[in-house]
Amino acid sequence: MKVLFCKRLIIPMSLFFVSFPALWAGPLERELTEEVFFQPIETVITAGRTEQSIERAPATVAVISSEEIKASGALTIPDLLRLVPGLDVMTIGSSHFEVNARGLNQVLSNKLLVLIDGRSAYFDFFGGVIWQAFQIVMDQIDRIEVVRSPSSALYGANAFSGVINIITKTPRQLHGGRLSVVGGENSTLHTSYVQGDRKGDTGYRVAIGTRQMNSFKDPDKDTDENILGNFYLEHRFKNDAKLSVEGGLIHGFIVQNVRLEDVKVDATTSYAKMNLDHGPFKLQAFWNRGDETSGAFFPPGPDVDILYNTFDLEAQHMVNLGLKHTFIYGASYRFNTIESNIIDRDHKQNLIAGYFQDEYRPIPEVSFLAGARIDYHPLVGTNFSPRGSVIYAPVGSHTFRVSVGRAFRNPSFTDSYMQFTIPPPPGMPIGVNLVGEPDLESEKITTYEFGYTYFPRHYFRAEVDVFAYEFNDYIGSGALNMVDRVPVQSFVNLGRATAYGFELTADILPAPWLKLSSNYSYQDLDNNYTVLRMQAPPSHKANFKLFLSLPAGFSSSFSASYVGEATWEVPTVTGDYTLVETKAHTRCDARLGYLWEKCHLELSVAAYNLLNSRNLEYPLAEKINRRLTGGASLSF
């Protein structure tokens, strides 16, 4: 019934694509303006933990604005991120995505920190991020800030290759409600309702949503079925202090690829968060909780149960030391608890850290930034993460930046404590014991960067970023050893890698109704850290985006994403690895929208993988089919 309804909606909407050239004969009723659609984000907060001009940020930063999110028609955050230069995004299945930066992507990718309004969404048990487990809907996102530089100097462990901060809309920005429904092929059905407003000194926001989608390779197989919601409440006091509390929950299931098998994961994950801001002082406390049950990672083994809690407390203070110094310092404490039937026993961890950053501006054109952080982990001990940048802006339209930084990733709970037996494959008399290693070293990376930005007017922006890095002590699976006639495999620090590359970006607004964006990324990685020393990321990637504001309330967008060939070390049923290449491929997406301003109603039709290029982004992934969707959004 839902699919039939969507087809009835999509067919008449798709006629607009055929007839849109004729629309240009009418008057331009809804003109695209620089302020609305190409608006540059004047300030970012993630790169330096404080508001600062994006040109003055001490690291490579990209911003996806709410206007771009809405115009893209994307149903997931990874679909937005694949158009960011320097990011590697893999679609493993309709509910499984992997994201990392500058050649470090893999299944169960674990080297990129993801924040939602400053709260960590990193999954400490395996390490990494489960993108479909977020308790937010797309309509409540204000912008996404992407830092493609090691950021442990401010964020500690796991900000290894960078940080993605998903920033949601405030009650003042919402000032009303929005109801959205999107449905289409593969039994796709996404619904959401977001409302927020301010009453005097108090503001609120609520959001609820549902999500359903089926597998690409089996249209009758559910792979994503969830219900979610969150709330936010803030109050501003007369002394300029602001107190906010929020919480959220998602319940349902997704399907993830774990090593060789697609596994259905039933889970309820939730969070609670409190923030207190009083001038230069900030205090944040949050609690993440997850209760998960999944099918066997290695059938016919047992189902897997995981229960985790993360409590985090952090305080930060900013001080102006004279007219030329801005000094930030802070400290954090984290308490993790883990219970699971695939680790040796229940575990707890206490993590402590302190950090600082000083920005010195001897003259208006020059900034020197230096910072460092010390983190303590009960197994690996102390990690020291320094970072420094020099920023030179000789005139208003040119900015040069040189940066160096060091970051690290601590071993996950499974790296340290796993205790699990893989059932014997066909023809084998005995299975393999997977055993964690408590004496692992942290993974470490040192990165050198040069950046140049040319931003003469709001209608043009160009950026060049060059990088080189070296990382050591990569954590991976070791060789099989016989212990009491039983094969045992554990985790070891395998080796190192070096890489270099660059990213080119250009945004242009040639007319008030048209925006064009493009970027190209090149990277070369010398692999001396994987098992076979042969895995290699794609060397070339390119993206193109086009946004149109058409007459009579119509708008349109088109994007194309090219990814070069890659080589993967893929695990086999016998416990070893084999080499498999994925071919270069291009994916195109498109959307057409119509805004009926009188009724505050927007209708849209979108095509995901428009050309139906049935390519693999990982050897064990699903081939991605074209998916047509139609949607409606009502604002009030």
Yes or no: say if 258 and 297 are a contact pair by the CB < 8 Å rule: yes
pLDDT at 456: 85
Q: CA 541, CA 561: separation in Å to the nearest integer?
A: 8
Pairing of strands 163-168, 432-435: unpaired
199: Cβ contacts below 8 Å, ≥ 6 apart: none
For residue 361, how many other CB atoms are within 10 A of its CB? 16
| 8 Å CB contact between 269 and 253 | no
Q: What is the pLDDT of residue 26?
A: 37
Q: Which long-range contacts (CB under 8 A, 24 or more apart) does 223-226 make?
A: 223/93, 223/94, 223/95, 223/254, 223/255, 224/94, 224/95, 224/132, 224/252, 224/253, 224/254, 224/255, 225/252, 225/253, 226/132, 226/250, 226/251, 226/252, 226/253, 226/254
Considering the segment(s) 2-635 as one domain, its CATH architecture is Beta Barrel (2.40)
Q: Mean pLDDT for each consecutive 10-residue tract of the chain (636 residues)?
A: 37 34 35 45 85 88 92 94 95 94 91 96 88 96 95 94 96 94 94 96 97 90 95 94 98 89 93 96 97 87 93 96 89 96 94 96 93 97 97 90 96 93 74 90 96 88 96 88 82 93 95 93 94 93 94 94 95 83 96 94 96 91 93 96
Say what the pLDDT of residue 218 is. Answer: 85
Buried b (16+ CB within 10 A) or exposed e, 324-342: eebbbebbbebebebebeb
What is d(CA 472, CA 184) in angstroms, rounded to the nearest whole number? 46
Residue type for position 59: A
CA 118 to chain centre: 13
Instruction: Determine how many CB atoms are found less than 10 A away from the CB of residue 435.
Output: 18
Copy the structure tokens of residue 206.
């609520």
Cβ atoms of 524 and 493 closer than 8 Å: no
Looking at residue 16, its pLDDT comes to: 33
The pLDDT, as a whole number, for residue 41 is 57
CB atoms within 10 A of CB 231: 14
SS3 441: coil
pTM to 2 decimal places: 0.92
Q: How far apart are CA 620 and CA 169, in angstroms?
A: 37
* Residues whose CB is less than 8 angstroms from the CB of residue 214 and which lie 6 or more positions away in sequence, other chains included: 94, 186, 187, 188, 220, 221, 222, 223
* Residue 161: CB atoms within 10 Å: 30
pLDDT of residue 38: 47
**Pairwise CA distance, residues 389 & 59, whole Å:** 8
Phi and psi angles of residue 56, each rounded to the nearest 5 degrees, phi first: -95, 5
Beta partners for residue 25, in sequence order:
none
E strands along 259-324, which residues?
Answer: 261-278, 281-294, 304-321
Question: Phi, psi (5° rounding) for residue 95?
Answer: -125, 15
**What value does the CA radius of gyration of the chain take, rounded to a whole number of Å?**
24
Taking the domains of the chain in order of start, what are their residue ranges?
2-635
